[in-house]
Chain A
Amino acid sequence: MGNRFFEQFGGVITVVLRGQYPERLINMALTRGIYIWNIKPAADGMRFEIRSSGYEALHTIAEENGYQLKIVSRHGLPAYKSIAKRRVGFMLGGIFFIAALYMISSFVWFVEVKGNERITDQRILTTVAKYGVHQGAPKWSFSRIQVEEQVLRDIGDLSYIKIEIRGVKANIEVVEKIVIPPNEITGPSDMVAARSGVVEEILVLDGQAKVEAGQAVAKGDILISGTVTPVLSPYAPPPLEPLLPYQVQARGVVKARVWYEGYGECPMKTENMVLSGRTAHQVSFITPWREFTLWGKKRPQFAREQVASTSNKLDTPIGPVGFNYRQYSEETPEVITHSEMEATQIAKQKALESLEGQIGQSAKITDSKINLLSSPSDVILRINVSVEVIEDIAISQPISGLENSTS
């Protein structure tokens, strides 16, 4: 196989040898080190292949001994060279095409940012652009790892960044730092009630409990005190010095039964827009200057319609170029009449949704009560929902009269 390759590289000539006893010439060639292969009988002599480098020598021997040597065909690179010379334009076109493809594909044409929530795309894009990753930047002009490091240094809120070059697209994946709100209270503190309620359960981690299960508390009442008064054990020997109260940062969980009220409403009759099934399509060609309608009506005739458009655009330096496909679907109004039960259900759902932000995530809804506000003749059904929830109501509060060091 390797041999074949080198033969192609150096060029191969097929010749026909004519004369008496061609075997004699072949033997002579053999002794002179001319490699011969594919010997076949031809109409009036022998046909075989030799390397183009050996042709000159063989030709000389043939002439000296009265043989006729005729070239039948040439293969290999040297043979193609002459063809290439004749088709210089085609070859240049090919080379130009490859070069152009290489040039175009060695730039970054698209930059995409993924994974950011608080930090804007714009901020990340401008920062990476500062270090060389932007639309139209040559791929060799920046080092991915360096840009990643520099961006991490510049945007402190990022904990991770990965720049991946895929073809002509730069995918930037970031992970933002999770900011833990600083615990402002560092000194001694109490735990007080955030809402009024009935204590169900109390768990003291540090401090001294001031309430017990079953007790009703009002908002702001101290639940776990940070001021601990030592209790003398009746079994231990009395201390030599009197024990003095000391202060700690109270910690613990106080679960209490609390109530929330939410409001929800639902019209007895709702008018919904539904799709009639009639549709119209439009395809247009986008150029940086204007949009041409290629197919379909410019302004569909529907009185009310829904438009869904998908576009395949390419951002070029002169502006967007691409196709836009729009689908217009006709909408017709449809009146839905709810029964009282349905309306109540929808209103309750809405009321609970309105409460969602207020009730903590760890809270457990134990009971809910619906209070109808509207009269049956009303167009809109209004309800009040009161929800009974068991949740942790303890929040830290610095012990009054003490200076707090804030972080």
Chain B
Amino acid sequence: MENRREAFNRALADFLEIPRDLVLDIPKLTLVGRNELYLENHRGIIQYNPNLLRINLSRGFLEIEGQNMEIKALMPEELHIIGEITSVRYRD
């Protein structure tokens, strides 16, 4: 059911040429160098410590590894992380 709805949404977004992150609620990451990360469309924090950050997404979660990471700002839709980022990984 969920998959069909998603497929429909994707087809609609493609047809109307609307950016997918707006319609499909998929995360949008902006990585500035290796020290800053902006993340839109998140679903909350799963785990936080200075070396590992797990962020919930609409599907799966995001695993960010690094050193001395801080959450600079946390808003319902947006997230701003600073610190030494070494890897960003999607997990299901």
Q: Which residues of A contact B (CB under 8 A)?
A: 22-23, 26-27, 30-31, 33, 35-41, 46, 48
Q: Are A30 and B74 in contact (CB under 8 A)?
A: yes
Q: Are A27 and B72 in contact (CB under 8 A)?
A: no
Interface size class of chain B, counting residues whose CB lies under 8 Å from the partner chain: 10 to 19
Chain B residues with CB below 8 A from A27, complex form:
44-45, 56
Q: Are B50 and A26 in contact (CB under 8 A)?
A: no
Interface residues in B36-58 (C-beta closer than 8 Å to A):
44-50, 56
In the assembled complex, 5 residue pairs joining A and B whose CB atoms fall closer than 8 Å, in A order, are A27-B45, A30-B44, A35-B74, A37-B74, A46-B48
Q: Which of A23, A30, A37, A41 contacts B76 (CB 8 A)?
A: A30
Q: What's the minimum C-beta distance from A146 to chain B, rounded to whole angstroms? A: 57
Q: Are B47 and A23 in contact (CB under 8 A)?
A: yes
Q: Are A39 and B76 in contact (CB under 8 A)?
A: no
Residue of A nearest to B43 (CB): A27
Chain B residues with CB below 8 A from A39, complex form:
48, 70-72, 74
Interface residues in B51-71 (C-beta closer than 8 Å to A):
56, 70-71
Q: What's the minimum C-beta distance from B37 to chain A, rounded to whole angstroms? A: 14
Chain A residues with CB below 8 A from B47, complex form:
23
Chain B residues with CB below 8 A from A38, complex form:
70-73
Q: Which of A23, A35, A37 contacts B48 (CB 8 A)?
A: A23
Q: Which of A26, A35, A40 contacts B70 (CB 8 A)?
A: A40
A37–B49 Cα distance when bound, in Å, is 15
Q: What's the minimum C-beta distance from B76 to chain A, rounded to whole angstroms? A: 6
Given A30-B76, A31-B76, also A37-B44 (CB < 8 A): no
Is the contact region of chain B dominated by helix, strand, or loop, or is it mixed? strand
A35–B75 Cα distance when bound, in Å, is 6
Q: Are B76 and A26 in contact (CB under 8 A)?
A: no
The contact string, 1 if C-beta is below 8 Å from chain A, for chain B 13-51, is: 000000000000000000000000000000011111110
Q: Are B72 and A41 in contact (CB under 8 A)?
A: no
Chain A residues with CB below 8 A from B71, complex form:
36-39, 48
Chain A residues with CB below 8 A from B56, complex form:
27
Residue of A nearest to B55 (CB): A23
Chain A residues with CB below 8 A from B45, complex form:
23, 26-27
Q: What's the minimum C-beta distance from B42 to chain A, rounded to whole angstroms? A: 9
Chain A residues with CB below 8 A from B76, complex form:
30-31, 33
A22–B50 Cα distance when bound, in Å, is 14
Which 6 pairs between the two chains have the least Cβ-Cβ distance? Answer: A39-B71, A27-B44, A23-B45, A37-B73, A36-B74, A40-B70
A40–B56 Cα distance when bound, in Å, is 19
Chain B residues with CB below 8 A from A40, complex form:
70
Residue of B nearest to A29 (CB): B74
Chain A residues with CB below 8 A from B50, complex form:
41
Q: Are B46 and A37 in contact (CB under 8 A)?
A: no
- Could you list 9 further interchain pairs (A-B, Cβ under 8 angstroms) beyond the known A23-B47, A30-B75, A39-B71? A23-B44, A27-B44, A27-B56, A33-B76, A38-B72, A39-B48, A40-B70, A41-B48, A48-B71
Residue of A nearest to B45 (CB): A23
A38–B69 Cα distance when bound, in Å, is 10
Q: What's the minimum C-beta distance from A248 to chain B, rounded to whole angstroms? A: 96
A35–B50 Cα distance when bound, in Å, is 21
Q: What's the minimum C-beta distance from A36 to chain B, rounded to whole angstroms? A: 5
Q: Are A23 and B46 in contact (CB under 8 A)?
A: yes
Q: What's the minimum C-beta distance from B44 to chain A, rounded to whole angstroms? A: 4
A41–B69 Cα distance when bound, in Å, is 9
A39–B73 Cα distance when bound, in Å, is 8
A38–B71 Cα distance when bound, in Å, is 6
Q: Are B46 and A26 in contact (CB under 8 A)?
A: no
Residue of B nearest to A27 (CB): B44
Chain A residues with CB below 8 A from B49, complex form:
41
Q: What's the minimum C-beta distance from A28 to chain B, rounded to whole angstroms? A: 9
A157–B85 Cα distance when bound, in Å, is 83
Residue of A nearest to B77 (CB): A30
Chain B residues with CB below 8 A from A48, complex form:
71
A56–B55 Cα distance when bound, in Å, is 26
Residue of B nearest to A36 (CB): B74
Q: What's the minimum C-beta distance from B67 to chain A, rounded to whole angstroms? A: 12
A30–B70 Cα distance when bound, in Å, is 17
A288–B82 Cα distance when bound, in Å, is 69
A175–B45 Cα distance when bound, in Å, is 79
A41–B45 Cα distance when bound, in Å, is 14
A27–B79 Cα distance when bound, in Å, is 12
Q: What's the minimum C-beta distance from A84 to chain B, rounded to whole angstroms? A: 30
Chain A residues with CB below 8 A from B46, complex form:
23
A37–B71 Cα distance when bound, in Å, is 7
Q: What's the minimum C-beta distance from B30 to chain A, rounded to whole angstroms? A: 18
Chain B residues with CB below 8 A from A46, complex form:
48
